[in-house]
Amino acid sequence: MRNLFAFIYRFRAFLVFVLLEVLCVYLIVRYNTYQGAAFFNSANRYVGQVLEFQSGITDYFRLASVNGTLAQENAALREELLQYRLEELADSADVLDSTIYVAPSDTAGSNPYNLIAGRVINNSVRRTNNYLTLAIGTADGVKPGMGVISSNGVVGRVKTVSPHYSTVTSLLHSQLLISAKISKSNTFGTIKWTGGDYRTALLDYIPLHVKPEKGDTIVTSGFNTVFPEGVMVGRISSVEKEADKSFYTIEVELSVDFAQLSYVYVVENPLKEERDTLELNAGIISDEQ
Amino acid sequence: MNSSFGIKHILQFVLFVALQILLMDNLVLYSTGFCFIYVAFLLFLPIEINRVLLLFLGFITGFTVDVFYDTMGIHAAASVLLAFLRPHVLNLLTPRDGYDTNDSVNIHIMGWRWFLAYTLTLLVVHHAAVFFLETINLETMWYNLAKVLLSTLFTGIVVVILQLLFFSPKRASRRL
């Protein structure tokens, strides 16, 4: 017994080293999946306060570009509004209403998504797995798993929330997949970021019989409850056909400049639970988020 | 300089970690050169510090950075590895007549060659651990290696600059 203690004492440094490394590996495996919730992360209250202090200083340097984006968004919304008004004035299509029957309870019409605006207080674009921290939390109605978009397009998904902060898995995360489609042909595939340049991502699973072209718009498919249909993702920047693959290799130039994010919107879908339960009960397991 | 762990080191810890989180997080060269300056805290600790204490300090430092970086465990693992290897590297680099009682990790006292050998060896190990733990697979190995080399250079240069600026040539690591 004494020998055992002597042995342990002699190799104490090595044993402590092994123990700590095992603990680290446990932490890595346990908390580095993108859905995993962790207590120690940047949504933590004290960490959030430090990050908010930091962004309180750096935000001043970005005011000009933030104002520019907001003005652009206003202009786009105003344009859309005008278009609707004009269409309403010239609307003679009342008679056509009978050609398509839309059920009065169709959720697309009656239940819009709610958007919760949030300020980005921490952001990264150059790591292999990137995250954002927002200055909104459960007190504002944010829940884990909600989608996050900006005025330019898709940003990511909420990972964890605390009362006043939330962390978001950015689209620039090696494990985040987003269901998207080519808006021209309605073919759907999966958006995936593979690291490196933060302006481009890959669009996977587009079968060879469709003809994607450079410049085609990629939008979200709306096949899951996270993102509404038709949110911009980016434009195709190159299409390649590889000999040994049954899918195209498509590069997409993302519409969101992740290095410039200041304000984003968290998407709340009031009917998410109902639809998810139904699909789960029916045995449909969605493989992408 | 004995192996005491005083208020000076707590101050260094706060300074280096704050520097890492607030400033160096935004400073990346060509999206390959990262600067993990918080490692300097572990490098500048006294030479005769207790090995077990050093391991725990490594874990705490890495863990603090992890919390802010949302990379749970990666920096902690790399820092613990560095803390484990530090005494061995110090042993290998022992001067001919052993370490003096007032020797410390100081570029003026120990000389350029000793300091660069010590710093760069540990930085390469630490950075390699960080980047390879981040992307468990070996698909992006060449890119990772480039990252390791550039980042080691970057961090190494910053560490040397810190030494030249704040460490006095006369007495053992009297700082600020």
| A·B CB contacts under 8 A | 96
Best interface-test mutation with B: which of A33, A121, A128 has the largest number of B CBs within 10 A? A128
Nearest residue to A252 (alpha-carbon basis) of A208, A189, A168, A210 = A189
CB A262 within 8 Å of CB A120: yes
Closest CB from B59, B66, B68 relative to A20: B59
CA distance A173 to A176: 6
Question: Tens digit of pLDDT for each residue in A203-240?
Answer: 988 888 888 888 899 998 878 778 888 888 999 999 98
Closest CB from A25, A47, A198 relative to B77: A25
CA distance B113 to B121: 12
| pLDDT above 50 for B174 | no
CA distance A80 to B175: 62
| pLDDT above 80 for A146 | yes
Please tell me the number of Cα atoms within 13 Å of A152 on its side-chain side: 20
Question: Tens digit of pLDDT for each residue in A27-82?
Answer: 877 776 654 555 566 667 777 788 888 887 877 877 877 887 887 788 788 778 87
B51-89 burial, b if ≥16 CB within 10 A, otherwise e? beebbebbbebbbbbbbbbbbbbbbbbbbbbbbbebbee
Distance from CA of B93 to the nearest CA of A (A): 20
Closest CB from B52, B84, B140 relative to A195: B140
The pLDDT of A19-24, averaged and rounded, is 86
| pLDDT above 80 for B17 | yes
Question: Tens digit of pLDDT for each residue in B57-69?
Answer: 999 999 888 888 8
> What's the confidence (pLDDT) of residue B3?
45
> What's the confidence (pLDDT) of residue A155?
92
Predicted TM-score of the model (pTM): 0.68
Q: Report chain B's mean pLDDT, rounded to a whole number.
A: 82
Question: Tens digit of pLDDT for each residue in A226-278?
Answer: 888 888 899 999 998 887 888 888 999 999 988 888 888 898 888 777 877 88
Q: Which residues of chain A does B77 touch, with a Cβ-Cβ cutoff of 8 Å?
A: 21, 24-25, 28
Q: Which residues of chain B does A54 touch, with a Cβ-Cβ cutoff of 8 Å?
A: 21-22
Q: Which residues of chain A does B56 touch, with a Cβ-Cβ cutoff of 8 Å?
A: 16, 20
**Angstrom distances, CA of residue B47 to CA of B38, B69, B118, B150:** 18, 29, 12, 27
> What's the confidence (pLDDT) of residue B124?
92
Q: Report chain A's mean pLDDT, rounded to a whole number.
A: 81
**Chain position carrying tokens 């605006």:** A117
Better-scored residue on pLDDT, A105 or A160: A160
Question: Tens digit of pLDDT for each residue in A73-120?
Answer: 887 887 788 777 777 766 655 555 555 565 555 555 555 778 888 888
Report the complex ipTM. Answer: 0.72
Contact of B135 with chain A, judged by CB distance below 8 Å, is answered with yes
CB B58 within 8 Å of CB B39: no
Q: Which residues of chain B does A26 touch, with a Cβ-Cβ cutoff of 8 Å?
A: 73
